[in-house]
Structure 1
């Protein structure tokens, strides 16, 4: 007769295996070079950044329902090449080349544009518990901060960041998914936001783009070049759970709905997967 501990171990292993198998549900089309997706729980809608055809002012933020219906393709309009998005209860922040754009979450109206002379290529955006907004500069291996007083400035410059792309803040820790300068791409690292100490938690994985929480122990990361989606824990243990086409961007995961959202840049669409 098997022991209770053995049975529990088998049950946990089987449960984990079942929870890491994404199933395709639907897709939203006509999202021109879709790069990033963020879920707004209060309004039960998704914001997606559309780079457009790289003409000046043809970029936008679209709104999409959780069942994949396009609500408004130009909720925020007149942008250039918008990428990472983060929201508060009344503001939407999006990186747009050398600008961090601040828009009204209710109306989509652009309120302010933040930049600094040294900025070259802002990418992902994240917000801490105090309301400070951070943006990665992939080209310079820097991170900028917009503080709660409205002051935008360089927060960290360190080559160890290795062309940072995706940002995720949990408590006093910032996780960074790096694009990487080498042929094997970048890794995942973490920053102690009090001491600014950087620690790599993985080896090179690929040209990383998005990073989002999955459960209490793991995060979801996307590899733009290979199209691979991985789970990764705080010790760097990775598990590939899905492969989609090249150019998967800044992903989103809606835990309460078991929805994984995958912006596909070159394919100009947003993919919806069920992931428990």
Structure 2
């Protein structure tokens, strides 16, 4: 069952392909736990202040159906007050350089389908998935690398190669500028590459291994109010884990079903987790109770996120090439 999501995704890709070809399986480079700042070709941009534009309130769900191709991740960019969407646009394993990032206005209208586009000469973007913003920089996972862009202009700022990784997925940033990225450790045949891990990138661009997994497929990442890293896994476990100070994963909370994808911490410290076994988004309360926040009709949303200002859940509906903006109060 742990292969259902990727199998469904590849079936969906074959039906909706934009003509791209499947690239060879990514080669796993020799393992290393540190990447020097010299490998990051970016310069640090001046600090930008979040936009002060009026807050638009969404009171009913909005679904957008045009401009997306295998949307895998979403993010609220607070600097520009726009919603970002990562589009794989082909196989999630392919080095086809046709992935792209879309922008959506908070009122639910499409601003720009291809704001950052791998098809352009200056951008390399193969199969983008998770995204996070730290120090005015947009971090995007892409197979075995993390791409860096200016969070407002979209200008290319560099690439951080994660040596020893094979299928980087979610990305999350802590307030201190530390970025974490998960490696599911799977190949195109759905087998294990033996690379399942979580990496940490410091503000200077140096990479270190946060935790190596002997089994399981780490996927969604989230940060608690006090800065702890939470991890969900796309395998048979029903648990949400916390990365402890000694570099181990311990149980933090539990859902009623497995095959987890996106993970979000809400203001009340409840968790939202997208669950492929049920196709729904489950809300896990601190007292151990659980409810269904969203019922999926064509599989669960992938790497969900939240606009905390408006109380809107951002849902990439990867199986139908749509995205949804879903008010928490709905």
Do they superpose with TM above 0.5?
yes
Deviation at 1:207, TM superposition (A): 1.2
User: How many angstroms does 1:94 deviate by?
Assistant: 0.8
Match of 2:149 in 1: 103
Deviates more, 1:262-271 or 1:141-150: 141-150
The answer for the alignment partner of 2:99 in structure 1 is 59
Corresponding residue number in structure 2 for 1:25: 61
Is 1:250 aligned to 2:303, yes or no? yes
**225 and 66 in structure 1: CA distance in 2 versus 1, 3 angstrom threshold:** farther
What's the offset of the Cα at 1:114?
Answer: 1.1
Alignment length (residue pairs): 250
Q: Counterpart in 1 of 2:283? A: 231
Which ranges of structure 1 fall in alignment gaps of 5 or more residues?
Answer: 1-22
Distance 1:219 1:208 in 2: 12
Structure 1 partner of 2:158: 112
Measured in 2, the distance between the counterparts of 1:197 and 1:53 equals 35
**Conserved 8 A contact 2:77-2:151:** no
SS at structure 2 position matched to 1:53: coil
Deviations 1:228-251 (A, max 9, x none): 111113465322222112141111
Query: Structure 1 residues 202 and 247 mapped into 2: Cα distance closer, same or farther (>3 Å)?
Result: closer
Q: Aligned residue for 2:53?
A: none
Change in CA separation of 1:264 and 1:61 when aligned onto 2, cut-off 3 Å: same
Partner Cα separation in structure 2 for residue 220 and residue 203 of structure 1: 10
Measure the CA separation in 2 of the matches of 1:121 and 1:236: 32
The structure with the largest strand share of the pair is: 1
Using the alignment, how far apart are the partners of 1:211 and 1:236 within structure 2? 16
- The 8 Å contact of residues 126 and 167 in structure 1, kept in 2 or not, is answered as yes
1:189 is aligned to 241
Tell whether 2:292 aligns with 1:214.
Answer: no
Look up the match of 1:163: 217
Aligned 8 A contact 1:177 1:209 in 2 = yes
Change beyond 3 A, Cα 1:195–1:105? same
Cα distance in 2 for partners of 1:247, 1:32 equals 16
Residues 89-133 of structure 1: per-residue CA shift (max 9 Å, x gap): 511001011111111112212211112331111000011222111
Determine whether 1:39 maps to 2:76.
Answer: yes
1:211-258 per-residue CA deviation (whole Å, 9 max, x = no partner) reads: 112232301111135321111134653222221121411112223312
**In the superposition, relative to structure 1, how do residues 43 and 75 fare at CA in structure 2: closer, same or farther (>3 Å)?**
same
Match of 2:182 in 1: 136
Equivalent position to 2:172, from 102, 116, 126 = 126
Write the distance in 1 (CA, Å) between the matches of 2:311 and 2:287: 24
Q: Bigger shift: 70-79 or 230-239?
A: 230-239
RMSD: 2.1
2:210 is paired with a residue whose SS is strand
Indicate whether 1:198 and 2:249 are aligned: yes
Q: How does 1:58-97 map to 2 (within 5 A)?
A: 58-78=98-118, 79-97=125-143
Confirm whether residue 264 of structure 1 aligns to residue 304 of structure 2.
no
Q: Does 1:179 align with 2:234?
A: yes
TM-score by length of 2: 0.70
Whole-Å separation in 2 of the counterparts to 1:138 and 1:123: 7
Query: Structure 2: how far apart are the matches of 1:229 and 1:44?
Result: 24
The alpha carbon displacement at 1:146 in A equals 1.4
Following superposition, the deviation at residue 151 of structure 1 comes to 1.2
In structure 1, how many angstroms separate the alpha carbons of the residues matched to 2:306 and 2:255? 24
In the alignment, which residue of structure 2 is the partner of 1:4?
none
